[in-house]
């Protein structure tokens, strides 16, 4: 078993006036690929944001440790420097800032990624080619007027360039056509091969998962982790949906003490 990279333990969190996550556990080993599924509004994106340190959310109990360090109180930029990456479900538009300058600035802030302007240009060019991303995009303002597919490819570009130890991809496949979906899958594959990083993929789309070797699947309903199982759990959800988890009246075979059993959640 891989050594633990991320350990979310008994985490409860929410906004100032609304509890969203309840007693959530999630352990991800170095280099592992985990999938997080659940119906809309389950709290999947919130968990991604809380792990990233988004100040919009408050942790009320529990802890988050990353690479052996307790990061529960750490700011988002420090977590980013430590190697956590979150691709946003709806990336922000930043008028006036060309994508290229944005990427260059981020890389220059990282001692391990700092490089000459020439080498940086070369590296970005290689990755853009790999992702079939037209290089003229690099000079456009960050995310302004980009199509859904283009935004997602740019996320992949960031992933390959920044080489985080843990990437949380929130619905990276939403709004993608088949070709773009292929490029994103290849981007994720390249990240795993070239960087060897761990992944938490939050998705509804089981097609993107066909090309990935998944170590573990987690199911979240109403802010609770209700089941955890092997990759095969994805196929079951694909066929039957979340009903059995939402009913909460059936024990998940693979999950001793499954919280889906017993209480009327
Ligand atoms: N910043 C926020 N302010 C208020 N409510 C929020 C905020 N973020 C999430 N929520 C609420 O928390 C619940 C879980 O949302 P979310 O994490 O986006 O679910 P999912 O990603 O599983 O669809 C929803 O009811 C959502 O409206
Ligand atoms: Mg979401």
* Domain CATH number, residue 247: 3.40.50.300
In a domain, 250, yes or no: yes
Where do we find the tokens 């389950």? 42
Cβ–Cβ < 8 Å for 85, 166: yes
Number of domains in the chain: 1
In a domain, 190, yes or no: yes
Which residue of 18, 22, 24, 226 sits with most ligand 1 atoms within 8 Å of its CB, as the best mutation to test the pocket? 18
Residue 72 has a pLDDT of 98
Pairing type for strands 141-142 and 69-70 reads: unpaired
Q: Whose CA is nearest to atom 6 of ligand 1?
A: 15
In a domain, 188, yes or no: yes
More confident residue, 121 or 250: 121
Q: Whose CA is nearest to atom 7 of ligand 1?
A: 15
In a domain, 67, yes or no: yes
Note the pLDDT tens digit of each residue in 34-74.
999 999 899 999 999 999 999 999 999 999 999 999 999 99
Position 27 pLDDT exceeds 90: yes
**Rounded distance from Cα 4 to ligand 2 centre (Å):** 25
Residue 91 has a pLDDT of 63
Nearest bound ligand to CA 87? 2
Which atom of ligand 1 has the smallest separation from the CA of 38? 22
Position 258 pLDDT exceeds 70: no
Whole-Å CA distances, 173 to 11, 180, 212, 258: 27, 9, 13, 29
Note the pLDDT tens digit of each residue in 162-183.
999 999 998 765 667 777 778 7
Residue 181 has a pLDDT of 79
In a domain, 152, yes or no: no
**Rounded distance from Cα 225 to ligand 1 centre (Å):** 15
Average pLDDT, the chain: 86
More confident residue, 97 or 149: 97
Nearest bound ligand to CA 42? 1
Cβ–Cβ < 8 Å for 132, 184: no
Q: Whose CA is nearest to atom 4 of ligand 1?
A: 15
Eight-class DSSP state of 38: -
What residues does ligand 1 touch, defined as CB less than 6 Å away? Answer: 15, 18, 20, 38, 40-46, 56
Question: Residue 161 and residue 134: Cα distance in Å, rounded?
Answer: 16
DSSP-assigned states of every residue in 116-141: -HHHHHHHHHHHHHHTT--GGGGGSE
In a domain, 144, yes or no: no
In a domain, 182, yes or no: yes
Which atom of ligand 1 has the smallest separation from the CA of 20? 12
Which atom of ligand 1 has the smallest separation from the CA of 57? 1
Q: Whose CA is nearest to atom 26 of ligand 1?
A: 41
Position 131 pLDDT exceeds 60: yes
Q: Kindly report the pTM of this predicted structure.
A: 0.88
Which atom of ligand 1 has the smallest separation from the CA of 40? 23
More confident residue, 212 or 208: 212
Position 88 pLDDT exceeds 80: no
Largest Cα span, the chain: 61
Where do we find the tokens 């930043």? 94
In a domain, 131, yes or no: no
Which atom of ligand 1 has the smallest separation from the CA of 56? 1
Q: Whose CA is nearest to atom 25 of ligand 1?
A: 41
Where do we find the tokens 């988002």? 76
**Rounded distance from Cα 223 to ligand 1 centre (Å):** 9
Q: Give the range of the structural domain holding residue 46, as residue numbers without chain letter.
A: 4-94+165-264
Residue 95 has a pLDDT of 80
Note the pLDDT tens digit of each residue in 210-245.
778 899 999 999 999 999 999 999 988 888 888 888
Nearest bound ligand to CA 44? 1
Which residues, listed in sequence order, are joined to residue 201 by a DSSP beta bridge? Answer: 35, 169
The separation between CA 236 and the C-alpha centre of its own chain, rounded to angstroms, equals: 22
Position 249 pLDDT exceeds 60: no
Position 259 pLDDT exceeds 60: no
Which tokens belong to 48? 């991604």
Residue 123 has a pLDDT of 94
**Rounded distance from Cα 3 to ligand 2 centre (Å):** 28
């Amino acid at each position: 078993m891989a050594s633990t990279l991320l350990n979310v333990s008994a985490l409860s969190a929410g906004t100032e006036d609304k509890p969203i996550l309840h007693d959530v556990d999630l352990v991800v080993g170095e280099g592992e690929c985990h999938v997080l599924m659940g119906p809309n509004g389950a709290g999947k994106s919130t968990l991604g944001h809380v792990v990233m340190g988004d100040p919009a959310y408050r942790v009320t109990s529990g802890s988050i440790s990353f690479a052996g360090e307790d990061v529960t109180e750490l700011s988002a930029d420090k977590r980013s420097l430590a190697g956590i990456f979150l691709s946003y479900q709806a990336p922000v538009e930043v008028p006036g800032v060309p994508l290229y300058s944005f990427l260059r600035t981020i890389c220059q802030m990282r001692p391990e990624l700092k490089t000459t302007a020439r080498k940086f240009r070369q590296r970005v060019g290689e990755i853009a080619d790999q992702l079939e991303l037209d290089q003229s995009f690099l000079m456009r303002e960050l995310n302004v007027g980009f199509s859904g597919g283009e935004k997602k490819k740019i996320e992949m570009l960031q992933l390959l360039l920044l080489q985080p130890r843990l990437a949380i991809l929130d619905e990276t496949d939403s709004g993608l056509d088949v070709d773009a979906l292929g490029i994103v899958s290849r981007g994720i594959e390249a990240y795993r091969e070239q960087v060897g990083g761990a992944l938490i993929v939050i998705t509804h789309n089981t097609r993107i998962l066909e090309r990935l070797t998944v170590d573990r699947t987690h199911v979240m309903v109403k802010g609770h982790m209700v089941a955890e199982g092997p990759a095969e759990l994805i196929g079951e959800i694909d066929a039957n949906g979340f009903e059995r988890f939402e009913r909460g009246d059936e024990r998940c075979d693979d999950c001793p003490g499954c919280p889906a059993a017993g209480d009327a959640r």
